Protein backbone atom coordinates (compact mmCIF):
# COMPACT_ATOMS: atom_id res chain seq x y z
CA UNK A 1 0.00 0.00 0.00
CA UNK A 2 2.84 2.39 0.89
CA UNK A 3 4.36 1.97 -2.58
CA UNK A 4 1.03 2.37 -4.33
CA UNK A 5 0.39 5.66 -2.49
CA UNK A 6 4.01 6.79 -3.06
CA UNK A 7 4.55 7.30 0.66
CA UNK A 8 8.01 7.38 2.21
CA UNK A 9 9.05 4.56 4.52
CA UNK A 10 8.93 6.86 7.57
CA UNK A 11 6.98 10.10 7.76
CA UNK A 12 5.43 12.67 10.04
CA UNK A 13 1.83 13.33 9.03
CA UNK A 14 -0.14 16.58 9.11
CA UNK A 15 -3.75 16.74 7.91
CA UNK A 16 -5.14 20.24 7.56
CA UNK A 17 -6.69 22.85 5.34
CA UNK A 18 -3.88 25.01 3.98
CA UNK A 19 -4.84 28.21 5.82
CA UNK A 20 -2.94 30.61 8.07
CA UNK A 21 -4.32 29.33 11.38
CA UNK A 22 -3.12 25.78 10.66
CA UNK A 23 0.49 27.10 10.90
CA UNK A 24 1.82 24.76 8.22
CA UNK A 25 4.45 27.33 7.27
CA UNK A 26 5.71 27.21 10.86
CA UNK A 27 5.71 23.42 10.72
CA UNK A 28 7.76 23.44 7.50
CA UNK A 29 10.17 25.95 9.03
CA UNK A 30 10.64 23.78 12.12
CA UNK A 31 10.98 20.66 9.97
CA UNK A 32 13.75 22.31 7.94
CA UNK A 33 15.96 22.28 11.05
CA UNK A 34 15.79 18.50 11.39
CA UNK A 35 18.60 16.32 10.02
CA UNK A 36 18.09 14.65 6.65
CA UNK A 37 17.86 11.28 8.42
CA UNK A 38 14.55 12.33 10.02
CA UNK A 39 11.26 10.96 8.72
CA UNK A 40 9.81 12.83 5.75
CA UNK A 41 6.86 15.19 6.22
CA UNK A 42 3.55 14.43 4.48
CA UNK A 43 0.98 17.24 4.60
CA UNK A 44 -2.46 16.19 3.38
CA UNK A 45 -4.87 18.92 2.40
CA UNK A 46 -5.45 21.86 0.12
CA UNK A 47 -6.35 25.49 0.42
CA UNK A 48 -5.43 29.09 -0.36
CA UNK A 49 -1.85 28.81 0.93
CA UNK A 50 -0.88 25.83 -1.22
CA UNK A 51 1.26 27.79 -3.70
CA UNK A 52 2.96 29.68 -0.86
CA UNK A 53 3.74 26.42 0.97
CA UNK A 54 5.10 24.85 -2.23
CA UNK A 55 7.39 27.85 -2.70
CA UNK A 56 8.58 27.65 0.91
CA UNK A 57 9.33 23.94 0.48
CA UNK A 58 11.31 24.67 -2.70
CA UNK A 59 13.15 27.65 -1.16
CA UNK A 60 14.22 25.49 1.79
CA UNK A 61 15.31 22.73 -0.63
CA UNK A 62 12.93 20.22 0.94
CA UNK A 63 11.10 19.03 -2.18
CA UNK A 64 12.48 15.51 -1.75
CA UNK A 65 11.45 15.33 1.94
CA UNK A 66 8.17 17.26 2.21
CA UNK A 67 5.24 15.81 0.28
CA UNK A 68 1.88 17.39 -0.55
CA UNK A 69 -0.33 14.61 -1.95
CA UNK A 70 -3.32 16.96 -2.09
CA UNK A 71 -6.74 16.42 -0.60
CA UNK A 72 -7.48 12.80 0.31
CA UNK A 73 -10.97 11.37 0.64
CA UNK A 74 -12.10 10.79 4.21
CA UNK A 75 -12.49 7.05 3.61
CA UNK A 76 -8.83 6.83 2.53
CA UNK A 77 -7.33 8.77 5.46
CA UNK A 78 -7.00 5.78 7.85
CA UNK A 79 -4.31 4.28 5.60
CA UNK A 80 -2.23 7.47 5.79
CA UNK A 81 -2.62 7.63 9.58
CA UNK A 82 -1.83 3.93 9.96
CA UNK A 83 1.41 4.12 7.99
CA UNK A 84 2.65 7.33 9.63
CA UNK A 85 5.53 7.43 12.10
CA UNK A 86 3.85 10.24 14.05
CA UNK A 87 1.19 12.94 13.67
CA UNK A 88 1.76 16.69 14.09
CA UNK A 89 -0.98 19.30 14.57
CA UNK A 90 0.55 22.78 14.56
CA UNK A 91 -2.52 25.06 14.57
CA UNK A 92 -2.21 28.45 16.22
CA UNK A 93 -5.92 28.43 17.06
CA UNK A 94 -8.32 25.51 16.97
CA UNK A 95 -11.61 24.88 18.76
CA UNK A 96 -10.99 21.16 18.99
CA UNK A 97 -8.94 19.52 16.23
CA UNK A 98 -10.80 16.38 15.13
CA UNK A 99 -7.74 15.19 13.22
CA UNK A 100 -6.08 14.64 16.60
CA UNK A 101 -8.83 12.16 17.50
CA UNK A 102 -8.31 10.44 14.15
CA UNK A 103 -4.56 10.12 14.75
CA UNK A 104 -5.14 8.83 18.28
CA UNK A 105 -7.50 6.19 16.89
CA UNK A 106 -4.65 5.04 14.64
CA UNK A 107 -2.44 4.60 17.71
CA UNK A 108 0.46 6.72 16.47
CA UNK A 109 2.51 9.19 18.55
CA UNK A 110 1.15 12.73 18.38
CA UNK A 111 2.57 16.24 18.80
CA UNK A 112 -0.14 18.88 19.28
CA UNK A 113 -0.01 22.64 19.63
CA UNK A 114 -1.11 23.86 23.03
CA UNK A 115 -3.40 26.24 21.11
CA UNK A 116 -5.64 23.32 20.11
CA UNK A 117 -8.86 22.95 22.12
CA UNK A 118 -8.46 19.22 22.58
CA UNK A 119 -5.16 19.75 24.38
CA UNK A 120 -6.89 20.37 27.71
CA UNK A 121 -9.58 17.71 27.59
CA UNK A 122 -8.10 14.91 25.55
CA UNK A 123 -4.42 15.11 24.85
CA UNK A 124 -2.91 15.44 28.31
CA UNK A 125 -4.39 12.08 29.28
CA UNK A 126 -2.45 10.20 26.62
CA UNK A 127 1.15 9.10 27.03
CA UNK A 128 1.83 9.11 23.28
CA UNK A 129 1.15 12.83 23.00
CA UNK A 130 3.49 15.79 23.35
CA UNK A 131 2.22 19.32 23.73
CA UNK A 132 4.23 22.22 22.41
CA UNK A 133 3.81 25.97 22.36
CA UNK A 134 3.25 27.69 19.04
CA UNK A 135 5.61 25.80 16.76
CA UNK A 136 7.55 28.64 15.19
CA UNK A 137 8.58 29.63 18.72
CA UNK A 138 9.33 26.04 19.71
CA UNK A 139 11.11 25.08 16.48
CA UNK A 140 12.31 21.60 15.71
CA UNK A 141 13.56 20.59 19.15
CA UNK A 142 10.01 19.52 19.93
CA UNK A 143 9.64 17.39 16.81
Q: Which structural domains are found in the chain, ordered by start?
A: 11-142 (3.40.50.2000)
| Average pLDDT of adjacent 10-residue blocks, the chain of 143 residues | 94 97 94 94 98 99 98 96 95 89 92 82 63 53 50
What pLDDT shows up at residue 137? 44
- pTM of the full structure: 0.88
Residues of 43-59 as b/e, b for ≥16 C-beta within 10 angstroms?
A: bbbeeebeeebeebbee
Residues making up the chain, counted from first to last? 143
The Cα 129–Cα 125 span in angstroms is 8
Amino acid sequence: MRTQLKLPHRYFLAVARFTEKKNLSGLIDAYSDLPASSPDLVMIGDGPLKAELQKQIADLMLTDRVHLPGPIGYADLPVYYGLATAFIHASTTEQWGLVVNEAMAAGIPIAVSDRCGCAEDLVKKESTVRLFPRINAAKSSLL
